[in-house]
Amino acid sequence: LTEQSIGKVVEEILDFMKLSIMSRNINVEFEVYYEGPSFFDPDMMKLVIMNFISNAIDAAKKQGTIRIEIKEDGNYVVLVINDNGEGMSEDIRKNIFNPFFTTKDKGVGLGLFIVHNIVHAHNGYIEVESAEGVGTTFFVYIPKDGR
């Protein structure tokens, strides 16, 4: 684990994924409300962030919006990723972190399973809110001190 800013990692990923985002004509809103450091494995956290943004791109409607926020909640840095896609039913939401579960035609169903395990290995956790026809929001909690 190294001491870094999750906001900086999100900026790198957004820059890296710029063409994918622009090709879908998606608007990205990025707000950093907490700029302090936290301890995490930067390569693993890039994988987590890239997976969530990629899923948000897939879910967002053409000319949709993805909203990303970095904030703090007690001893945690919270990464919030919101899309205005179709949302998920309760049944789908309950299964998204299970291995090999997918709603995508060409999906393998390992992305959110791996992401969940990476966040858990950082002593963090993930919450999700979704409403059909409205969109989905993921909240990724990573301890500031890495413990």
- Mean pLDDT calculated for residue range 37-58: 94
Q: Return the pLDDT at 119.
A: 97
Write out pLDDT tens, residues 63-104. 799 999 999 999 999 999 999 999 999 999 998 998 888 888
| Contact call for residues 81 and 140 (beta carbons, < 8 A) | yes
pLDDT in the model for residue 2: 92
Q: Is the dihedral of CA 116, 118, 120, 126 positive or negative?
A: negative
Q: What pLDDT, on a 0 to 100 scale, did the predictor assign at position 27?
A: 94
Is residue 65 within 8 A of residue 26, CB to CB? The reply is: yes
How far is the C-alpha of 36 from the C-alpha of 30, rounded, in Å?
16
- pLDDT of 136 above 80: yes
Proportion of the chain above pLDDT 90, given as a percent: 76
Q: Which amino acid is at 67?
A: R
| pLDDT(62) > 90 | no
Largest CA distance in the chain: 40
Higher pLDDT, 127 or 109: 127
3, β-bridge pairs: 39
Contact present, 137 and 60 (Cβ < 8 Å): no
Query: What is the structure's pLDDT at 33?
Result: 96
